[in-house]
Structure 1
Amino acid sequence: MNAPRNPYQQLVAEAEGRPFAAIVGWPVEHSRSPALHGYWLKQHHIDGHYGRLPVEPKRAALEELVAFLKRTPNARGCNLTLPHKIEIMPLLDRIDPGAQRIGAVNTVVKQADGALEGRNTDGFGFLEALRYNAPHWRAEAGPVVVLGAGGAARAVVASLVDAGVPELRLVNRTRETAVDLGVALAPRDGRRIVIGSWDERAGLLDGATLLVNATSLGMKGQPPLDIDLAGLPRSAIVYDIVYVPLETALLAEARGRGNRCVDGLGMLLHQGRPGFEAWFGVKVEVSAEQRHVAAADLGA
């Protein structure tokens, strides 16, 4: 009886010599990135592969990932999800300036010289999905509340600051992490990043035009997000970057009180575009059909 392949052997076998990329995380089984990129590969008749690669949250495991990408000729790079977006950075050859500013990487692209470059497309995906699903929203209209200060939250905050939000209220369960993020990304033109404590999160919703859950709370297998929406204007948009489940308890409550809602699937779809284009050399767009396919893959 043959011994089971390790995840790297499995991925190479699935690729069958074709150019490939993969989603890397721990755990990674929940990711729908393979369905997303598989759709584009099929749509554009590209002979390539996109798979899953579970990698433990240990430096030695990340070093093994980097070595694998470098030594495997048909490896084009990878996406990174929890918990690797920050820890991978010191191991890469180059970091794109945008990702350096955010302090997190979600996309690794193997260059022609074999070097690995870290990029961040989460902010791009976040704003593209927001503009698509809530085209009336204007950054300058008023305060925005962001829950979370991890890798994805860093990209969200950077994109909102760059979009021109006049006041960003940042709340995290660990206040010190939020303070560090606020200092790192604070605008230099008089606009503010206000750091709130987790206990006062509901009070910070007053007057907000947008509430973003950029934590893992509410995700399948994680604790629920507990927040009282009573103080949130009904005109505000509620955006949950969680996409498993697609309709989180936060979105269900917000929708029930009349708020416009944006789920995490749109961000997932749009953030995938720049990486796919870098790996496989074809420009792609997000379509309603693709969203339908991805939602069906989620069982939604």
Structure 2
Amino acid sequence: MTPYAEVIGDPIAQSKSPVIHNFWIEQLGIEARYDHCHVTREGLADYLAQRRDDPAWRGCNVTMPHKLAVMPLLDRLEPIAKTIGAVNTILREDDGTLTGTNTDAPGFLEPLRPLLAKTHLFRMARVLGTGGAARAIVAALAAEHFTIVLAGRSPEKARSMLDEIAPDGEHHAIAFDHFADATDFAFDDRQGCFDLIVNASPLGMTGQPPLPFDFSHAPPASVVYDIVTSPLETAFLREAHAKGFATVDGLSMLIGQADVAFARFFGAKAPREHDEALRARIAS
């Protein structure tokens, strides 16, 4: 029995997860494989029932639209999944028990760790989007003591998300289009501050409209982070780079969350010294 894991979703053909996990399996020379499986909402319960009885199946990553729908079908949720209110990774225990967790939050934070290791007088994040990925990002940033400005098409939904996931902070909910128009706001002295701007929405993705963001809303020395992976260099990141801001692309989060899942699936540490080659493999 070759141990295997997979990614499920609807659609699923576009997922880069098999490329990432199989690259690491190849580099380590371990006996395992990672597949993708198209699972509809109607077929989700049957899929999990079948995999529960397969001892070779180590678990799966979960992408849209199933991150919420899988939760009542599982036996146990780890605290991070409960906090975020979404599952992106399912683990099969030896007795067939199915445990839900979420690796999006640590994956999102991974490329920011060198900055987070520093002491700051103040940390503020402007997060655009209120979908499933935004839930993990808000939870991750709140745990790192950021004040969060969450922008959504429905400010009420944004407020509700903040109250649910990060109730202890003085966070702010605003309309998504707040950042679309120029501002003449005079930012204070940013020395000792960490400002982060995150596109947690699908805007800017291939086939989607561009993200409406005017960079007059970006304090000096902000870090600009886009979780979109197709295209890897979005118009949002291109403009940020041209204006001199540090940028983080969506592949950084995708690889970071896959790293955490890989260790749980296969009991091995991902060979991250080969990240440059992995990025080249994904691009090809």
Using the size of structure 1 for normalisation, the TM-score is 0.85
Which residue identity does 1:118 align to in structure 2? G
The range that moved more, 99-108 or 62-71, is 62-71
Instruction: Measure how far apart 1:182 and its partner are.
Output: 0.7
Matched residue, 2:50: 68
Kindly report which structure 2 residues correspond to 1:40-51, keeping only aligned pairs within 5 A, or say none: 40-51=24-35
Matched residue, 1:246: 232
Q: Which residues of structure 1 form unaligned runs of 5+?
A: 1-16
Determine if contact 2:179/2:212 at 8 Å carries over to the other structure. no
Separation in 1, partners of 2:24, 2:10: 25
Matched residue, 2:145: 164
Change (3 A) 1:92 1:140: farther
Matched residue, 1:5: none
From 17, 20, 29, give the equivalent of 2:13: 29
Determine if contact 2:179/2:217 at 8 Å carries over to the other structure. no
- Establish whether residue 196 from structure 1 lines up as the match of residue 182 from structure 2: no
Determine if contact 1:143/1:210 at 8 Å carries over to the other structure. yes
Change (3 A) 1:284 1:63: same
From 241, 245, 248, give the equivalent of 1:262: 248
Matched residue, 1:12: none
Determine if contact 1:236/1:259 at 8 Å carries over to the other structure. yes
Identity of aligned residues (%): 40
Separation in 1, partners of 2:280, 2:112: 17
Which residue identity does 2:223 align to in structure 1? I
Which residue identity does 2:53 align to in structure 1? R
Which residue identity does 1:55 align to in structure 2? V
From 274, 278, 281, give the equivalent of 1:293: 278
Instruction: Measure how far apart 1:52 and its partner are.
Output: 0.9
Using the size of structure 2 for normalisation, the TM-score is 0.90
Determine if contact 2:5/2:59 at 8 Å carries over to the other structure. yes
Instruction: Measure how far apart 1:292 and its partner are.
Output: 3.3
Which residue identity does 2:277 align to in structure 1? H
Determine if contact 1:149/1:172 at 8 Å carries over to the other structure. yes
- Establish whether residue 122 from structure 1 lines up as the match of residue 104 from structure 2: yes
Which residue identity does 2:161 align to in structure 1? L
Matched residue, 1:215: 201
Separation in 2, partners of 1:20, 1:204: 50
- Establish whether residue 109 from structure 1 lines up as the match of residue 94 from structure 2: no
What's the Cα RMSD here?
A: 2.1
Determine if contact 1:111/1:117 at 8 Å carries over to the other structure. yes
